[in-house]
Structure 1
Amino acid sequence: MMGAAGSPEAEWWELAPVGLARVDTTGRVTQINQAGATLLDLDGDALATLDGLFDVDEAPHDAAGLEAERLASWPVARSESRELAYRVHGYRHGYVVSFRDVTMRRQQERRAAAVARTAARVASERSLATTLNAMASEVLRANGLAGVQILATEQPEGPLHVIGSAGFPPSDSFFALLMECQRRGATLGMLDALRTGRPVVIHHRYEAVMADPAWEPLHELLRSPRWDAFASVPILVRERAVGILNVFFAPEQKVDHGMMEFLATMADQAALAIDYAELLERERYVARRAERQRLARDLHDSVVQQVFSMGMQTQALKVLAERSPGPQAESFAAVAAELEEITQSTLQDLRSLVNQLQPSPVTEKGLGAALQTLAENTRRRTGIDVGLAVSDAADELRTHLLEDVYFIVAEAVHNAVKHSGAGSIRVDIDGGGTAALEVSVRDDGSGCPPGPPDTAPGRSSGHGLASMRERAEQWGGQLSVDWEQAAGTTVRARFPLPANSLDKEN
């Protein structure tokens, strides 16, 4: 591997500060200096393994007339490679190749490009899922990782779930399965990152996870591609944890300071994307609220008043029918009675709709007080006993979520009053000691038989039930209606609580 000892050529060859290799016209490496052997971690006489590493075909030249640098990749471990920049120089019956290690520089370039592309997406994309998926792919490609996940919420204070992912197959159930692992006793490093606001790194995590029965629900999802170390970096918006960047390192991959700085930078980019999405959602909420208020005013000032006038005209028609002689009077009275029933029902529905379109009392009173007012008004207007039990923990949740809970309860109570013939209604809301807010509205009436296939069983109209379900599902929740002829109807809704309300001690 060395030149002739003591010759000027040998001295130049060994003292060169860069790697040098002699390559014949076929691309076979015939000699390498000590600097080059050290750079490539060559043991003994391993020149044959270098054949084909350097391309000696003619290369383009730069503006100064020098041959442009070319790049080659040399594997030094199963999941790592060394990137080389080299130039080819003609020499006797072959070539001399000078090369240097640019792995770090190239890594920094890829990371800088990933940050720049991600920043551009944050500024241009209006879809949080699209932005975070692209961001996960950038993090994966820039570092040769096994997998990347970005867990966040699509609604402020909503349920945490995987929005961006790369490397692993996509799964809508990942966070639910993760919570099942926690219930089985699994230790979740990401919750420590959420709680402390500081990154968590766990080495040799793969084998421990796969050997632990508590992690069994996620074994299939996390089995491939193979990984080793794990890092969880909190995503912070104004010092509030809104998500987590989870990184799964390839086997033998190093978790160094430069890597963690890059991940922290990408977590900051994710925070910008999430904050931007929350800002857009707040703007949409304000716009929707203003539009609902306008519709409520228009309905009250026009349609409600017109239906009220129809009711007054119906009353007059009943009086005229009662005073009219002859055999037609009875028919007139029956039609008038039917019209009166229709107008009263329509007026009740319209007033209920106007109340729902107006800002909910939750904003000023809190959920418990707002529902207490609803219960008292219902008792006073209908004589139906409305029982209420609201967990103190419920009022600590975000107002936007509680407004949807209030309107679901109000719709269920309205339907019970209108359709069930109930003597009592029971409202229970429990948000303490579980990972979900549980809502139940139960009456003791007769309800009505299951509706057609396009509406779920129960007494709610198709639009009313669809609205209730939509309000629940936008928070990752579920709504069901159980009807029993002898036991009344129960409307149930379940809302997953925000991630920061989970038990962080596990």
Structure 2
Amino acid sequence: MSPDPHGDSEAVRRRERRASAVARTAARVASERSLPATLRALAHEILQTDGLAGVQVLTNLHPGEKLHMLGIAGFPASQSSDFFSRLMECQRLGADLRMLDVFHSGERVVIPHRYQAVMSNPAWGPLHEYHRHPEWDAFASVPIKVRQSTIGVLNAFVSPGKEIDEEGLEFLTAMAEQAGLAIDYASLLEQERSAAQREERQRLAQDLHDSVVQQVFSMGMLTQTLKVLGEDGRPESLDRIREITADLQDITGSVLKDLRGLVAQLRPSATSGTGLRHALRELEAATHRQTGVRFRTSIGGIADDVEGDFAEDLYHVIAEAVHNAVKHSSADLITVTLELDEAGTVQLCVRDNGSQPGSSVVPADPQEGHGLSFMRQRVTRWRGELTIESGRGGAGTAVRAEIPFRTLSFTDDEAPRTSERQDEDLYD
């Protein structure tokens, strides 16, 4: 039988499309700063190149975390936020989760006629609506690896009437390698930021030792001398006591000056001169790059009016609420509102759209967790009130704070202390 020229030419064109897709993705990995944008584009490249029904890219940026779906094509993006939570529910019901087998074993897998098996099995019930459209048939899952460690999976849902041959599987593997490069690149950027922070802390520690520690040692020696002279009781010792007291006063002033300088360098971006509004933009951008979570913000003019410790505390309350939403909920959208109402009260709300039962910043233990406790301390420090609304009507979790801004005329010494910031407050 003579070879089919049409079949050969189609195979050549398919190989060319795949090679072009890998090349375009590689170029994007090298230039794109947003990991979610890179992985979404990668998923669409695969979908369009091989005519698949759907593509998923799931990864955990840090070991032990849940898998985040940072790339998706074919399936509605709006249904991806709680995908992993629903997948875990399917596992509890007894579903055979082959993608998790791939994640743990690092071996790729292809399963024919998977659609009917999934849709007819009640154990897959929590994901039936997600998987129903578009219709697909076979399923393939390929590990995403970085330096021999599996950090995610690339899932391909094959359209009815099509199949994944060895060349198709190699294409998916090549695209998984590009996904691994993108994830590794994002991780290296975070490591560079952390290394810079460590170097800065080491420099500050050296400054602290060279100035403050030595001066405090001198204060200790002078204090011991005062103790001896005080027990002496001779009138001529009074002149020496006065001299030492003056020296202690000078050293104390110098120590306080040095500490104020060091504390100013340790302040987060919210109070470093760029302002609260800029710091919140950076928080949102960094969180989106790392997790794919979207933000909807409404930041009023109050963000430009607050400064110093108050701005810093507002920033950390928002940052902690965002961190908890990303870590504990299935949310893909976080809404941040900060405004000043007519009564002169700062109204802050951080709400996520996580709808999975149990997804909440509120710890299971009735005793508050460390992060939630510090959020409350930062708010009550300014005579405000923190409330948590969790899971009402499937609306996710909302962290709310009300702080009387117009009555913030008291000094730092009058304001309640938080154990985390007590040392700083002593030198403000």
Give the alignment's TM-score, normalised by structure 2: 0.51
Equivalent pairs, count: 254
| Partner residue in 1 for 2:149 | 240
User: Secondary structure at the residue paired with 2:162?
Assistant: coil
Counterpart in the other structure of 1:444: none
Task: Give 1:20-35 correspondences, 5 Å limit.
Answer: none
- Unmatched tracts of structure 1, length 5 or more: 1-14, 19-38, 40-82, 85-99, 307-346, 359-460, 495-506
Query: Are the counterparts in 2 of residues 229 and 249 from structure 1 also a CA contact under 8 Å?
Result: yes
* More strand, by proportion: 1
Structure with the higher helix share, 1 or 2:
2
CA contact (8 A) 2:141 2:153 kept: yes
Q: Do structure 1's residue 273 and structure 2's residue 273 form an aligned pair?
A: no
Cα deviation per residue 1:401-430 (whole Å; 9 max; x = unaligned)? xxxxxxxxxxxxxxxxxxxxxxxxxxxxxx
SS of equivalent residue, structure 1 residue 278: helix
- Structure 1 residue 472: Cα displacement: 4.0
- Distance apart, 1:301 and its partner CA: 8.8
Residue 243 and residue 483 in structure 1: after superposition, are their counterparts in 2 closer, same or farther (change >3 A)?
Answer: closer
Amino acid at match of 1:164: G
Determine the structure 2 residue equivalent to 1:120: 27
Equivalents in 2 of 1:118, 1:165: separation in Å?
15
Q: Say if 1:299 and 1:244 are closer, same or farther in 2 by CA, change over 3 A.
A: same
Q: Deviations over 1:80-109 (max 9, x none)?
A: xxx95xxxxxxxxxxxxxxx8521011011
User: The residue matched to 2:369 in structure 1 has which SS?
Assistant: strand
SS in structure 2 opposite 1:228? coil
Letter of the 1:165 counterpart: I
Instruction: Output the amino acid matched with 1:268.
Output: E
**Closer, same or farther in 2 for the Cα pair 1:123/1:177, shift >3 Å?**
same
Paired residue secondary structure (1:479): coil
Q: Structure 1 pair 291/108, CA: closer, same or farther in 2 (3 Å)?
A: same
Residue 193 of structure 1 corresponds to 102
Partner-residue secondary structure (3-state), 2:37: helix
Query: Structure 1 residues 104 and 125, CA, compared in 2 at 3 Å: closer, same or farther?
Result: same
Q: Quick check: 1:155–1:475 contact (8 Å CA) kept in 2?
A: no
Q: Distance in 2 between matches of 1:284 and 1:474?
A: 20
SS at match of 2:124: helix
- Code of the residue aligned with 1:469 in structure 2: it is A
Change (3 A) 1:202 1:482: closer
Q: Cα gap change, 1:160/1:303 in structure 2, threshold over 3 Å: closer, same or farther?
A: farther
Letter matched to residue 151 of structure 1: L
Question: In 2 relative to 1, CA 264–482 (structure 1 residues): closer, same or farther, beyond 3 Å?
Answer: closer
Residue 255 of structure 1 corresponds to 164
Tell me, in whole angstroms, the C-alpha distance in 2 between the residues paired with 1:180 and 1:278. 29
Q: What TM-score does the superposition give when structure 1 sets the normalisation length?
A: 0.44
Distance, in Å, in 2 between the alignment partners of 1:142 and 1:174 is: 25
The alignment status of 1:172 with 2:81, answered yes or no, reads: yes
Identify if the C-alpha distance between structure 1 residues 251 and 481 changes in structure 2 by more than 3 Å, giving closer, same or farther: closer
- 1:108 aligned to 4, 8, 15, which one? 15
Which residue of 2 is the match for residue 222 of structure 1? 131
| Distance in 1, Cα, partners of 2:51 & 2:142 | 18
Cα distance between partner residues in 2 of 1:492 and 1:185: 35
Kindly report the root-mean-square deviation, in angstroms, between the aligned alpha carbons of the 2 structures. Answer: 4.0
Whether 2:321 is the aligned partner of 1:469: answer yes
- Say if 1:303 and 1:185 are closer, same or farther in 2 by CA, change over 3 A: farther
Structure with greater Cα Rg = 1
For residues 135 and 252 of structure 1, do their structure 2 counterparts lie closer, same or farther at Cα, with a shift above 3 Å needed? Answer: same
Letter in 1 for 2:23: A
Hey, what's the Cα distance between the residues in 2 that align with 1:152 and 1:225? 23
Flag the 1:303–1:188 CA change in 2: closer, same or farther, 3 A: same
Letter in 2 for 1:490: E
Q: 1:134 to 1:476 in 2, by over 3 A?
A: farther
Shift of the 302–263 alpha-carbon distance from structure 1 to 2, 3 Å rule, reads same
Higher relative contact order (CA 8 A, sep 6+): 2
- Provide, for residues 335-373 of structure 1, a one-character-per-residue CA deviation record: whole Å limited to 9, x for no partner: xxxxxxxxxxxx9xx99x97xx69xxxxxxxxxxxxxxx
Residue 136 of structure 1 corresponds to which residue in structure 2?
A: 43
1-side partners of 2:35 and 2:209: how far apart?
38
What stretches of structure 2 of length at least 5 have no aligned partner? Answer: 216-255, 268-312, 330-359, 373-428
Which of 347, 357, 362 is residue 480 of structure 1 equivalent to? 362
Indicate conservation of the 8 Å contact 1:479/1:491, yes or no: no
In the alignment, does 2:212 pair up with 1:283?
no
